[in-house]
Structure 1
Amino acid sequence: MYITITAQKLGKTYGQSSAGFVAYLEKENQGLEQEEMEHFFNQYGDEISAKEVVNEIDGNTAKLKNKEPKFYSITVSPSKYELTRLENSSADLKRYTRELMKDYVKCFNREINGRAITVDDIKYYAKIEHQRTFKGTDRQIRENQPYATKILQLKNHIRKIENGERIGNIDKLKLKIGKLERDAPHQQNGIRIVQGMQKAGNQSHIHIIVSRKDATNSVSLSPGSKYKSSEVEMHGKKVGRGFDRDMFFEKAEKTFDKTFGYQRNFAETYKARKDFVKNPNLYFAALMKLPANEKAMAFKLMHKTGLPVIPNIPTNQAQMALRIFKRLRQGVDVAIKSSSIGV
């Protein structure tokens, strides 16, 4: 499961309208018949139009300054293993979203009129998407880049020969290009992976746009608050503030597992991934204590997600294994930020 919470920006400032983001989320519907489209939905409604989403989100920004976000985007991307538990990606993810947003409001350390916040207090709209493309930041693109650079240089060389600007053997250069295409480390269906290429397999995921203000347009609810979960005294009263992201991420996993009967492996948990970055000793100790079958699955998942896979070293050599693990970890680019999780 990979979840991000993002305050939508336009350059260095916060956008004054959700129109651009909503239009972006409509991209998969282009060229489709009405019955094939994925529509926006919320806790109780289906087939909500993009126009209504923009009007509702943009009209719910009372007293927010230009430098404050008007809405947040939550992206929920189940792993390919999690997706295998779904019988119908669209219907199941829609059902999960509605349960997830109940978890979302529970993670605010706030009250409205002296009572706990409920899902009816927020204004959100969600949309299911089924496609993804490779981006420049993806590991496959980054590791293929040296090959892409050499291929571009050779193609430019061929173009100059064709224009009479240089002398050379075009056939030999084309053979070199073919070899580079084949040697690139990341391929999909026998073709070198390039930026913008559509990812194969089930890529279903959820986009959620949630207003910064509550449904009454009077209370500010920010999941981007720097206050995790605390209290502050205002007008002689103690008032709760903050949003507990760790709690939200963990609840997201538990709700998915309960909803779809998913047996989550240690390596798939938010806590494990966080420990991997923050406390590798703790991560390694927990990994080595797993039963053999779960440990084998954990190694498989680690490999698929870019985490280092340690050699199969006997547990009585744990200290040696830990040193190897730490050395491997130094070369791994894993971003576990307060705003996102990834498995």
Structure 2
Amino acid sequence: MYITISKQHQGENFKGSVRDFVNYLEKENETVHPDLQEHFFDQYNDQIGAEEVISQIDQNTTKLNKKEPRFYSMVVSPSQSELKAISNDPEKLRQYVRELMKDYAASFHRNNQVTVDDIKYYARIEKQRTYKGTDKEIRENQPYATKILQLQKEVRRIERGEVIGNAKSIRKEIDRLERDAPHKINGKRIVRGMKKEGMQNHVHIIVSHKDATNSFKLSPLSQHKAAETTLNGKTIKQGFDRDKFYQAAEKTFDQTFKYNRNFVESYRARNALDKDPKRFLAILSGLPITEKQAAFKMLFKAGVNVPTIPTNKVQVAYKALMKLKRGVEVAINSGSIGI
């Protein structure tokens, strides 16, 4: 499960409306029959219109200054194996999001317990994803793409009479490169922006910076996990524990849908990789045989070459560790591994 949280940006300040973002999320509906369109939903309602989302978020901003976000964007991206576990069912994805937002609320450190009813949010399922530069397919196709672009420029120069050459011969070379590119969909070389095949359901969530009563701020990007300050003799709790949230989000999915998560899919693995790559490899090497085989298969499928793991982890070369770390991070960011 790959979850990202980001704050609203409108140039140098945060005064802008949520309208542009809502319109962006509505783009898939433009080419879909009305009966098949996805609607925004919250904790209790399945069909919320775009204008209501805009109105509710834009009006829930009392006492926020121009340097503070009006809302946060959360993207919940299940891996292919997680989507398979729920049969790519949008209804189950909505069910998961509603449980996830309970975990989100519980991760705030406040004097009074924050519950999901304190959170003003609107979520929307998207069914398509496009290839990015970090994807394995794009990276491995890039040498072919670069050469094709160079040859296409050469053909144009010949056609404009700027240089002398055989445009027909160059076009044949371009065709050959297109055929030899390792990754294609329906015979066409995969390029950035092309729609991905398979199950691609994921969720965009718009979360108001203010609580549902427009009374107090709830920032998931707080610098503190659990800070306490004293004001007029009263202890004030503040902060948001992102580690707690990510772990809870994973646990909620696994328990709700009886999902058997492999180590390399886990938040634990990502945390170990970030903080101590040697520990990541040590845990990987110590997994039961069947789980280890599954882990290596996932890594290989994601384009990650795992170095040989010696018995004594001290012997692991730093350079090999860093190469593995970069490879896994790229796979995570591209969605190849559902960490």
* Fold shared, TM-score > 0.5 on shorter chain: yes
The reply to whether residue 230 of structure 1 matches residue 233 of structure 2 is no
Change in CA separation of 1:147 and 1:321 when aligned onto 2, cut-off 3 Å: same
- The CA distance in 2 between the partners of 1:299 and 1:68, in whole Å, is 43
Shifted more, 315-324 versus 249-258: the winner is 315-324
Does the 8 Å contact 1:73/1:209 carry over to 2?
yes
Does the 8 Å contact 1:270/1:342 carry over to 2?
no
CA-based RMSD of the aligned residues comes to 2.3
How far did residue 260 of structure 1 move?
0.7
Number of equivalent positions = 335
Among 282, 287, 300, the residue aligned to 1:285: 282
The reply to whether residue 332 of structure 1 matches residue 322 of structure 2 is no
Does the 8 Å contact 1:3/1:342 carry over to 2?
no
How far did residue 139 of structure 1 move?
4.6
What is the one-letter code of the residue matched to 2:16?
Q
What is the one-letter code of the residue matched to 1:197?
M
Query: What is residue 81 of structure 1 aligned with on the other side?
Result: 81
What is the one-letter code of the residue matched to 1:295?
K
- The CA distance in 2 between the partners of 1:15 and 1:139, in whole Å, is 38
* Unaligned segments of structure 2, at least 5 residues: none
Q: TM-score, normalised by structure 1?
A: 0.90
How far did residue 181 of structure 1 move?
2.2
1:1-343 aligned within 5 A: 1-87=1-87, 89-111=89-111, 115-311=112-308, 316=311, 318-321=313-316, 325-326=320-321, 328-329=323-324, 332=327, 334=329, 343=339
What is the one-letter code of the residue matched to 2:219?
S
Query: Per-residue CA shift, 1:95-137, capped at 9, x if unaligned?
Result: 00000000000000013xxx31111111000001110111345
Report the secondary structure of 2:85's partner residue.
coil
What is the one-letter code of the residue matched to 2:217?
S
Change in CA separation of 1:227 and 1:255 when aligned onto 2, cut-off 3 Å: same
Does the 8 Å contact 1:136/1:195 carry over to 2?
yes
Change in CA separation of 1:55 and 1:330 when aligned onto 2, cut-off 3 Å: closer
- The CA distance in 2 between the partners of 1:127 and 1:267, in whole Å, is 28
How far did residue 192 of structure 1 move?
1.9
Change in CA separation of 1:187 and 1:309 when aligned onto 2, cut-off 3 Å: farther
What is the one-letter code of the residue matched to 1:159?
R
Identity %, equivalent residues = 52
- The CA distance in 2 between the partners of 1:253 and 1:132, in whole Å, is 22
Change in CA separation of 1:118 and 1:128 when aligned onto 2, cut-off 3 Å: same
Shifted more, 12-21 versus 40-49: the winner is 12-21
Does the 8 Å contact 2:73/2:205 carry over to 1?
yes
- The CA distance in 1 between the partners of 2:120 and 2:313, in whole Å, is 51
How far did residue 323 of structure 1 move?
5.7
- The CA distance in 2 between the partners of 1:256 and 1:291, in whole Å, is 23
Change in CA separation of 1:229 and 1:58 when aligned onto 2, cut-off 3 Å: same
How far did residue 249 of structure 1 move?
0.4
- The CA distance in 1 between the partners of 2:267 and 2:217, in whole Å, is 27
Change in CA separation of 1:76 and 1:219 when aligned onto 2, cut-off 3 Å: same
Does the 8 Å contact 1:124/1:210 carry over to 2?
yes
How far did residue 305 of structure 1 move?
3.7
* Unaligned segments of structure 1, at least 5 residues: none
